[in-house]
C-alpha cells in the first residue's frame, strides 16, 4: 500500500514538473503572411486604441441625439421640522399693548414629490451638434480603417524583410559550402602537384572571407524576425517559423497609371481629414448659435402633504401641475462668443492647409511608389537572366579549374559574380514587394489574402 502511495505521488510530481517546464518554454509559431497579418491585427495596440475611438464617437452621437430628446426628472423630499419657523404679528389678544408675538407656521412633517419634464423646441447648437457628432463618427471610422491598412502594410514589409534575410542567409551558406568543397578539391589537386600554392591560398582565403558573411546574414535574419515580432505584437522570445517565399505579384498597369489620381479619393487618412474639416465647419455654426435664442417647453406635476404626525392618508396629499414655455437668449458674454467663433474659423483654415499639404504629399508619394514598382519590375526581369548567366559562368570556371585549364582566381571571380547577381535579384524582388505593399497602403487597397481578416 505504501509503495502504491509513493508511486502515485511520484507520478503527480513528474506531471507537475513537466507542466512547469512546458509553461516556461517559449511559444513556437509557424506563420504564413496571412497568419502574421491576422495575429498583428489582433495584437496591435494602436489599432485597439483606434477601435475604442470609434466606439467613443458612437457614444458621442447618442449623446448629441439625447440633447434633443425630452428630459424627465423625478424628485422626492421629506422634511422633519425640529423647530418650526415663525413670523411675527401684533398681539391681537392685548390690543394697544404694542407687543409683537411669534406665531409658528408649517408642520412637523412635510412630503413633496415632483415630476418635471422639459423639451427643447429650438436650439441651433443642439440640432447642429447631432450632425457634427455623426461626421465625427465617420471620421473616426476612416482613421481606424487607415490604421488597419497601415498595420497590414507594416506586417507585409516586415514579413518580406524576413524572407529576404532568409534567402540571403541560405545563399551565403550555400556559397560557404561551395567554397569549402572547392577548397577540398584544391587541396587534392595541390597534393598531386596539379595546382599552385597560390591557388590553394586563394581557395582558403575565399572560405575565410565567407564565414563572417554567413554570421552577418544569420544575425540579419534574427533582426528581421525580431522586427516582425514587434509589428505582430508577439513576445520577443516567441519562436517564429516562417512559411513563405519572395514571389512576384503582378500589379495591374491601369492601377499604376491611375494611382496618383486614385489616392485623392481612396486614401483613408485624407478622407478622415476632409471629414475633420466638415466637423470644424459645423463647430463654427455651433459657436455662432450662441447668438440665437433657446426655446423650451416644460411641465411640472407636484404631489405634496404636510402634517404634524405620520398618520397619513391619500386625502392628506394635494396635487398641483403646470406647463409653460421658456425663452432664453444671450445678450452679452464679454466678447467670449466672438473669440470662440474666431478660434473655430482659424481651426478650419488650419485644417484646410493640412489637407492641401497632405494631398500634395500623397500625390508625390504615389508617383514615386509607381516609379519604384516599374523600376523593380525591370530589375527582376534583368537579374533573372543575370543569375542564369552567372550560374553558367560559375559552372564553366569550376570545370575549367578541375581540368587544369583555369585558375582559382577565375573560380573566385565567378563565385563573386554569382553571389552579387543573386543578391541583386533578391533585393529587386524585395523592393518590388515592399513598393506594392506601400501602394496598397496609400491607395487604401486591402490585399486579397487579408480581406477575410478585416472586421
pLDDT tens-place string over residues 393-404: 888 888 887 777
Q: What is the mean pLDDT of residues 108-130?
A: 90
| pLDDT of amino acid 12 | 55
Cβ contact 136:279 at 8 Å = yes
Which pLDDT value is given to residue 160?
95
Q: Give the residue from 172, 278, 162, 262 showing the smallest Cα distance to 222.
A: 162
Q: What is the mean pLDDT of residues 423-435?
A: 92
* Average pLDDT of the residues in 287-299: 90
Q: What is the pLDDT of residue 376?
A: 93
Q: What is the pLDDT of residue 16?
A: 53
Which pLDDT tens digit goes with each residue over 302-331? 999 888 888 878 788 899 999 999 999 888
Backbone angles phi, psi at 104, to 5 degrees: -70, 140
Which is more confidently placed, 106 or 51?
51
Cβ neighbourhood burial of 8 (10 Å; 0-12, 13-18, 19+): exposed
Which pLDDT belongs to residue 237? 87
For 110, other C-beta atoms within 10 Å of its C-beta total 15
- pLDDT tops 70 at residue 298: yes
Residue 137: per-residue pLDDT: 92
- Mean pLDDT computed over every residue of the chain: 86
How many whole angstroms separate alpha carbon 172 and alpha carbon 184? Answer: 18
78 within 8 A of 43, measured Cβ to Cβ:
no
Closest to 290 (Cα-Cα) out of 132, 124, 133, 127: 124
CB 370 within 8 A of CB 254: no
CATH fold match for the domains 28-69+123-291+333-453 and 70-122+294-328 = no
**In this predicted structure, what is the pLDDT of residue 23?**
45
CA 397/CA 37 separation, integer angstroms: 45
CA distances from 446 to 111, 126, 265 (A): 66, 38, 15
> Over the range 292-306, which residues count as b (16 or more CB within 10 Å of their CB) and which as e?
eebebeeeeebeebb
| Cell digits of residue 164 | 529576404
User: Residue 185 corresponds to which cell in the numbers above?
Assistant: 578539391
> pLDDT higher for 181 or 4?
181
Taking the C-alpha atoms of residue 120 and residue 129, their distance in angstroms, rounded to an integer, is 14
CA 307 to each of CA 84, 106, 112, 115: distance values in angstroms, whole numbers, following the listed order: 12, 8, 12, 22
Q: What is the rounded CA–CA span in Å between residue 244 and residue 161?
A: 12
Q: Three cell numbers at 295?
A: 426655446
β-pair partners for 221: none
Instruction: Fold for 70-122+294-328, please state it.
Output: Outer membrane efflux proteins (OEP) (2.20.200)
227: which 3 cell numbers?
Answer: 522586427
- Give the mean pLDDT of 431-454: 90
**Domain ranges (residues) in the chain:** 28-69+123-291+333-453, 70-122+294-328
Q: What are the φ/ψ torsions at residue 34 (nearest 5 degrees)?
A: -65, -40
Sequence-distant (6+) residues with CB within 8 A of 147 are 44, 46, 47, 50
Inter-CA distances, 148 with 51, 62, 152, 224, 445, Å: 10, 25, 6, 22, 11
The model's pLDDT over 169-190, given as tens digits with 9 standing for 90+, comes to: 988 888 888 888 878 877 877 7
Residue 362 predicted with pLDDT over 90: yes
Phi (first) and psi of residue 335, to 5 degrees: 65, 10
Measured between alpha carbons, how far is 452 from 455 in angstroms, rounded to an integer? 8
Pick the CATH number of 28-69+123-291+333-453 from 3.60.150.10, 1.10.760.10, 1.10.10.10, 1.20.1600.10: 1.20.1600.10
pTM: predicted TM-score of the whole model, two decimal places? 0.78
Backbone phi and psi for residue 106, each to the nearest 5 degrees, phi listed first = 85, -175
Which residues does 50 contact at the CB level (< 8 Å), separation at least 6?
140, 143, 144, 147, 148
Q: Higher pLDDT residue, 438 or 309?
A: 438
Q: Would you tell me how many other CB atoms lie within 10 Å of the CB of residue 133?
A: 22
And the C-alpha cell for 349?
483654415
Amino acid at each position: 500500500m505504501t509503495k502504491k502511495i509513493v508511486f502515485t505521488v511520484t507520478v503527480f510530481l513528474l506531471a507537475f514538473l513537466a507542466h512547469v517546464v512546458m509553461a516556461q518554454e517559449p511559444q513556437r509559431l509557424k506563420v504564413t503572411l496571412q497568419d502574421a497579418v491576422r495575429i498583428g491585427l489582433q495584437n496591435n495596440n494602436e489599432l485597439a486604441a483606434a477601435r475604442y475611438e470609434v466606439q467613443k464617437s458612437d457614444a458621442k452621437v447618442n449623446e448629441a441625439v439625447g440633447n434633443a430628446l425630452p428630459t424627465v426628472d423625478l424628485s422626492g423630499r421629506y422634511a422633519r421640522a425640529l423647530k418650526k419657523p415663525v413670523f411675527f404679528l401684533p398681539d391681537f389678544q392685548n390690543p394697544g399693548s404694542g407687543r409683537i408675538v411669534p406665531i409658528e407656521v408649517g408642520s412637523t412633517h412635510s412630503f413633496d414629490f415632483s415630476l418635471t419634464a422639459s423639451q427643447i423646441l429650438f436650439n441651433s447648437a443642439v440640432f447642429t451638434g447631432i450632425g457634427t457628432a455623426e461626421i465625427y463618427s465617420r471620421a473616426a471610422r476612416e482613421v481606424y480603417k487607415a490604421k488597419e491598412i497601415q498595420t497590414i502594410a507594416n506586417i507585409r514589409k516586415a514579413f518580406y524583410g524576413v524572407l529576404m534575410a532568409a534567402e540571403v542567409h541560405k545563399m551565403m551558406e550555400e556559397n560557404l559550402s561551395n567554397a569549402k568543397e572547392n577548397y577540398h578539391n584544391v587541396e587534392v589537386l595541390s597534393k598531386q602537384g596539379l595546382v599552385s600554392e597560390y591557388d590553394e591560398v586563394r581557395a582558403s582565403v575565399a572560405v575565410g572571407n565567407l564565414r563572417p558573411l554567413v554570421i552577418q546574414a544569420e544575425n540579419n535574419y534574427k533582426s528581421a524576425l525580431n522586427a516582425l515580432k514587434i509589428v505582430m505584437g508577439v513576445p520577443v522570445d516567441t519562436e517564429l517559423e516562417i512559411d513563405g517565399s519572395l514571389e512576384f505579384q503582378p500589379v495591374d498597369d491601369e492601377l499604376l497609371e491611375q494611382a496618383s489620381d486614385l489616392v485623392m479619393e481612396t486614401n483613408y487618412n485624407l478622407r478622415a481629414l476632409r471629414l475633420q474639416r466638415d466637423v470644424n465647419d459645423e463647430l463654427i455654426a455651433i459657436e455662432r448659435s450662441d447668438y440665437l435664442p433657446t426655446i423650451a417647453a416644460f411641465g411640472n406635476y407636484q404631489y405634496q402633504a404636510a402634517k404634524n404626525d405620520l398618520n397619513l392618508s391619500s386625502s392628506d396629499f394635494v396635487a398641483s401641475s403646470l406647463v409653460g414655455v421658456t425663452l432664453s437668449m444671450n445678450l452679452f458674454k464679454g466678447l467670449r462668443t466672438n473669440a470662440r467663433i474666431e478660434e473655430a474659423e482659424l481651426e478650419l483654415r488650419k485644417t484646410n492647409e493640412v489637407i492641401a499639404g497632405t494631398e500634395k504629399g500623397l500625390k508625390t508619394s504615389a508617383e514615386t511608389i509607381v516609379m519604384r514598382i516599374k523600376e523593380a519590375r525591370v530589375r527582376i526581369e534583368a537579374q533573372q537572366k543575370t543569375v542564369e548567366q552567372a550560374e553558367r559562368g560559375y559552372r564553366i570556371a569550376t570545370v575549367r579549374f578541375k581540368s587544369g585549364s583555369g585558375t582559382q582566381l577565375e573560380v573566385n571571380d565567378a563565385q563573386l559574380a554569382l553571389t552579387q547577381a543573386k543578391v541583386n535579384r533578391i533585393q529587386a524582388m524585395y523592393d518590388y514587394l515592399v513598393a506594392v505593399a506601400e501602394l496598397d497602403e496609400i491607395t487604401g487597397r486591402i490585399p486579397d489574402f487579408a480581406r477575410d481578416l478585416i472586421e
